[in-house]
Every structure is written in structure tokens, then in C-alpha cells.
Amino acid sequence: MQTANPLRVDLGRGLVLDNPVGLASGTAGYGFELRQLTDLDAAGALYTKGTTRRSRSGNAPPRVAETTGGMLNSIGLQNPGVDWVVDHYAPEFARWRVPVIVNVAGSSVEDYVLCAQRLDGVAGVAGIELNISCPNIAHGLDFGRDADSAARVVSAVRAATQLSLMVKLSPNVTDVAAIARAVGDAGADSISAVNTYVGMKIHRTSRRPVLPGGTGGLSGPAIRPLALAAVAGIRATVDIPVVGVGGIVDVESALEFFAAGADAVQVGTINFVDPDAAVRIAEGIRDDVARRGLRHLTDLRRRGRRQPA
Amino acid sequence: MSTDLRRARLETGAVLEMERLDGGLIELTARLPHLAAETRPGEFAQLRCSTGFSPLLRRPFSVAWTEGDTCAFVFEVVGAGTALLAQLAPGDDLDVLGPLGSGYTLEVPPGRVLCISGGLGCAPFPILAAALRRRGVEDIIVLNGAATASRLYPAARFQRGDDGIRVIEATDDGTRGHRGFVTQLVAETLTSGTAAVFACGPNSMLVSLARLLMATAEAPAIGEASLEAPMGCGFGTCLGCALPVLASGRDRAWALCCSDGPVMAMRDVDWNGIEALPEPSVA
């Protein structure tokens, strides 16, 4: 079937993006700063800062440390809480053309469910991205660490909302594809992969970790080969849409994720360096698809999806 | 709800001069008409150090002075990013994002203004002193401290031809001016008629100054410091550059160096928390 917009991405349950390039959670806040620096409405989606049931003031500084080809962060989910987001931010989101997908984090199934219920049916909220994998808060990683607990939280949230539900997976596990299968079976509409890798930087003179908690989440081009391998493994395992994220900095690196089987991508750390990055990459993909005469960007893949049994 | 970034934009301009001063200080000037027109004293720009992705993040620098469509930055080589910046030559492109952050208060009551600089904390003071003079401030004293004489930013560069700006120097090793820390000069220059104290320098200097002012009976109404923190974005989005501030009713409170600062009222800062921070890590 001919698709009018070759960049259109259907992420399930009514969440349709005009183009596949979103701004990754934690690298775009709630959009208010980047809107002033770039044409955010030309991006495919905005994935908000991780949002929790109650506001969080975040971790003690220092919170970021640059590493070779990347950066470590330990922000600690500083956010104003879901009620503030619904009451004060969503009315703004509703005026924007870019779909806003609210990233939700929690430390109990109840936290996730309450956030999902609060966001359900709110104008301006296009979908939920479930963060079961934040490495920077106590217990934040737990749900993403094994297939059973991941499935438990996804099932509970699935029952609590009609919104399209994306689940963002942690790469800090033995078999990310097994967790992808579990969250797919539990009712996720799509999967984003990957969150940051647990990393450490040692201070040159003190010989102690730079980040007060010892470790942080590593992002940036340094993780791209790792993220691509994770995406390819997930693609081979599930049939729901996969959103690739990890170290994309330009059109070429975004196209690598489509080749690995992604249906859409998120651009993260590079937003800090170049506020225009996501929009420029979306335009570049549009040009590439047109130049190759492709019907749809999924034709960029070298191999098709696994055929359902 | 969010940081006001209406004056900030990406701008690429040609490097005009790379002037190597004594002691490893480098003054970089570039043709950046937007930044030159829009920046206010104490604000900063995020400079891209590499055309590739290593180092990945931009580096924040105060705008030292502007003239026409030219902006100047003062830095020294401390890591990979500044090493690349130091290799720029006249004619090379410089990619900046700015102006960013909050600057110093320019509306000051009549009286003396003390500008207290430690090391590379000199950077915002040429532009600040000039702006204050244009607003009619007659008595400006720059207290300029550094480890040793060669590392003192030259007095004439604070003055930029204006003899009305006085500069008093201090060096840790006594090779020029007062022997000791620049904060030791505050007691003799802080008069009851001092309207404002503006500071920029290492955390240890700012902590000493803050405590000194707290212990001063007639401290000036305006006391502001430009602070530093490792930054991700520089425009209020990544939440990486948190600094401890005082707040009532909450056990912890953070402000963002990039958007709440870098210039903050000294009375709002949790100086004990600042003192407890580790030395910055170099990428």
C-alpha cells in the first residue's frame, strides 16, 4: 500500500509520528528550552524528562562528567512530578505540533500505575514511555533487570491507560532481547532501546569516582555500537515497533539504526551540543529516502522483520 | 516555567586573533556579531571545541569583552577541549551558542563597586567594568589575584583605556602586588560606601569572600558571584550543573549554574555545600 508520507511511523494504539526522529528522554527536558533554540515542531516526537509520581530534587552534584566520545550523568530524575506536568505542562504540549510522549519512572508498580492513570486522556500527552531502567536512583533499575518484573510492571500499566505504551529497556542486563519479549507479551505497544550504560569515571588527581554515587549512565557516540547490537537483537525477537537510541549524532548514524531494524530513533546527548540536531537529522533522512526512491523509510532496512510464526 | 533563551542562538564566526599572554593565558577574539550585540556582563557562551565528536560537549566561557562585532574569551589549556581551542588560528571558524545564563546586576546604587577576580575569574570583568562605567559608576576597583605574577590578567585589559577603573593586584607567592590571597585586600577596600561586590574565581576564593561579607557589619546590598559547575547543555535542559543553594522548608535545594546562574546572589548560595564539592574533573 502506498504511504503518502514516507517517514510516517505508527507506534501503535493511535500514536503516529510524522517522522521517526525524536528527542530522547533526559536530553530535552519538557521541550521549553529547546523550543526557543530550534524548530521543535519539526521533530518526530519529544520524549520528556523522566517523570515520577512526586517531585524529585535530584542527586547531589557533580551530576555530569565527560568521557571519551560521551558523557556520564547522574541527575537522579529531578522533575516536578506528574501532577505538575499534567496541570502546567500538558496544556502547553497540546498547542504544539510535535507529539509529546511522557517518560514515566517509578520505584514501585503502584508509582507507575498512578502516573499512567494521571496521564491517561490528558490533552497534549501523546503517549507514555515507561522508564524501567534509570540507573541513577535506588531501585530504579530493578524492574528492567529481569523479564518477570518487567512484565509485571508493564501489565499493570497496560491495564491503567489507553495511551500508546512504549517501554524503554536497560542495556545493563544479560539478555535484553528476553526482556523485550516479556514486555511485548505483557502489552507494550513499542520498545525503545537503549537507556544509558552504567559507567564510571575516575578523577585524575583524587583517583576517586567523579560522580558522588560512583557510577552514572553513559550516553553519546561511545555507546552506539552497543546500542545497535541491542536493537538488532530485540528486532530479531519481537514484532512490535522498536525505537533505537544510543549515540546518534548525524544522519548516517541514525540510518545505522534503521539498518539494524529500528522503526524510529531518538537523538539524545547531541541535543546538548547542537540544538538543531534532531530536526536536521529528520530532514536528512527525508532527503535520503527520496534520493533512493524508497516508498517508506522501513525500506532502509537490510533485512525484514522476523515473520510471525 | 523555563529559561528565557530568546537572545541565545547558534553562531559561527571567524577567529580574529589568538593572543598568548604570559602564564598560559590565551585571549581569543572572534567576529560574532550576534553575541557581541546581545551579551550582557557575566553571561557566557558555549564554545564548540571540535568539529567532530571528541570532545563531545561544548565548553562554557564568559564573554570577556566586546567591541563592535568582536567578542573576546580568556582561557588556559586545562584539558582536551581547551587544547583544541588553543590550536585555533585567525580565520578558523568558531561555533558558539549564546548568550546564556544570568549576568551581574548593572543597576547599582551610588558608591564604590568592588570586582574581585581570582585566576581565570578575570574573564567577566572587562565587560562588566565598562558597562558600569557607561552607567555612571565612578569608583570601580578590580581586586585581581593569581598564583603568581605571570598568571595575572594584565591590569590594562580590565581598564581598556579607562583610567577610572583601578586595579589592585595580589599574588599567592608575592611576585607582584600584595602577597597572599586577593580576599585579603577586601577589608581595606570595602568601605561603608561600597554599593556592590562582584566576584568570579575558584570556589575556595568565593567561599572565603562570602564568609568575609557575612561577617561584615555593613556589607553592601549587592553581592554577586559567578559560579562554575560541570555542564552538559548550558541552557537549562540537562539539569547537570546543579549547585547547592539555600532554601527554607526543604532539606536540599539545587540551582542550575547555567540558567539560574552563573551569576548568583551570594546570600542565596549554600557556601558550605560549595566548599564540600570536589575539585572539577577535566575531560
C-alpha count within 13 angstroms, C-beta hemisphere, residue A168: 32
Q: Is B244 within a domain?
A: no
Residues 6+ apart with CB under 8 A from B193: B111, B112
| Spatial separation of the C-alpha atoms in residues B226 and B203, rounded to whole Å | 10
Q: Is B283 within a domain?
A: no
Copy the grid coordinates of residue B257: 549554574
For chain B, what is the domain count? 2
- Whole-number pLDDT of residue A303: 42
Residues 6+ apart with CB under 8 A from A180: A169, A191, A193, A233, A234, A237, A238, A242
ipTM, 2 dp: 0.95
| B1/A32 CB distance under 8 A | yes
Question: What is the tens place of the pLDDT at every residue in A97-114?
Answer: 999 999 999 989 999 999
Assess whether B117 and B96 both reside in one domain.
Answer: no
Q: Is B280 within a domain?
A: no
pLDDT tens across the length of chain A (309 residues): 455 899 999 999 999 999 999 999 999 999 999 999 999 999 999 999 999 999 999 999 999 999 999 999 999 999 999 999 999 999 999 999 999 999 999 989 999 999 999 999 999 999 999 999 765 555 545 788 889 999 999 999 999 999 999 999 999 999 999 999 999 999 999 999 999 999 999 999 999 999 999 999 999 999 999 999 999 999 999 999 999 999 999 999 999 999 999 999 999 999 999 999 999 999 999 999 999 999 998 887 754 444 444
A contact test, residue of B9, B38, B56 with most A CBs within 10 A: B56
Q: Is B58 within a domain?
A: yes
Q: Identify any residues that bridge with B61 across adjacent strands, giving them in sequence order.
A: B45
Phi, psi (5° rounding) for residue A94?
A: -65, -20
- Whole-number pLDDT of residue B1: 52
| A27/B237 CB distance under 8 A | yes
With a cut of 50, list the residues of chain B below it in pLDDT: none
| Shortest alpha-carbon distance between residue B176 and chain A (Å) | 29
Q: Is B56 within a domain?
A: yes
Assess whether B60 and B124 both reside in one domain.
Answer: no
Q: Is B76 within a domain?
A: yes
Phi, psi (5° rounding) for residue A231?
A: -60, -45
For chain A, what is the domain count? 1
Output the CA–CA distances (angstroms, integers) from residue A212 to A59, A208, B254, in the order listed. Answer: 9, 9, 15
Q: Is B130 within a domain?
A: yes
Assess whether B134 and B35 both reside in one domain.
Answer: no
Chain B residues whose CB is inside 8 A of the A273 CB are 48, 56-58
User: What range does the domain containing B71 cover?
Assistant: 9-100
CATH number for the domain harbouring residue A270: 3.20.20.70
Assess whether B18 and B83 both reside in one domain.
Answer: yes
| B57/A273 CB distance under 8 A | yes
| Shortest alpha-carbon distance between residue B258 and chain A (Å) | 12
Whether the CB-CB separation of B122 and B182 falls below 8 Å is answered with no
The contacts found for A2-8 with CB under 8 angstroms, 24 or more apart, are A2/A295, A3/A295, A3/A296, A6/A286, A6/A289, A6/A290, A6/A294, A6/A295, A6/A296, A6/A297, A7/A44, A7/A282, A7/A285, A7/A286, A7/A289, A7/A297, A8/A296
A contact test, residue of B1, B2, B203, B260 with most A CBs within 10 A: B2
Q: Number of residue pairs across A and B with CB atoms under 8 Å?
A: 140
| A33/B235 CB distance under 8 A | yes
CATH number for the domain harbouring residue B204: 3.40.50.80
Whether the CB-CB separation of B44 and B123 falls below 8 Å is answered with no
Copy the grid coordinates of residue B130: 565598562
| B244/A210 CB distance under 8 A | no
Instruction: Report chain B residues touching chain A, CB-CB < 8 A.
Output: 1-6, 8-10, 48, 53-58, 97, 229-244, 250, 252-254, 259, 277-283
A contact test, residue of B47, B78, B233 with most A CBs within 10 A: B233
Nearest CA in chain A to B229: A62
Q: Helix, strand, coil % (nearest 5) of chain A?
A: 35, 20, 45
Closest listed residue to residue A198, CA positions, set A72, A75, A104: A72
- Whole-number pLDDT of residue A80: 96
Q: Is A66 within a domain?
A: no
Q: Is A172 within a domain?
A: yes
Assess whether B270 and B155 both reside in one domain.
Answer: yes
Q: Is A309 within a domain?
A: no
Chain B residues whose CB is inside 8 A of the A274 CB are 10
Chain A residues whose CB is inside 8 A of the B100 CB are none
User: What range does the domain containing A42 cover?
Assistant: 9-59+76-199+218-300
Chain A residues whose CB is inside 8 A of the B240 CB are 63-64, 73, 75
Q: Is B159 within a domain?
A: yes
The three-state (H, E, C) secondary structure of B224-254, written as one string? EEECCCCCCCCCCCCCCCEEEECCCCCCCCE
The minimal CB distance from B237 to the residues A28, A58, A270 is found for: A28
Question: CA Rg, chain B, in Å?
Answer: 18
Catalogue the active-site residues of A: 134
Assess whether B270 and B135 both reside in one domain.
Answer: yes
- Whole-number pLDDT of residue A135: 58
Distance of CA B100 to the CA centre of its chain: 13
Question: CA Rg, chain A, in Å?
Answer: 18
Q: Is A105 within a domain?
A: yes
User: Helices in chain B by DSSP H: which ranges?
Assistant: 33-38, 80-86, 125-134, 155-159, 186-189, 203-214, 271-275
| Shortest alpha-carbon distance between residue B90 and chain A (Å) | 23
Whether the CB-CB separation of B185 and B208 falls below 8 Å is answered with no
Assess whether B213 and B116 both reside in one domain.
Answer: yes
Residue ending a domain, choose from B100, B120, B140:
B100
Find the helix packing angle between A277-291 and A251-259, rounded to 10°: 60
Closest listed residue to residue B224, CA positions, set B194, B186, B265: B265
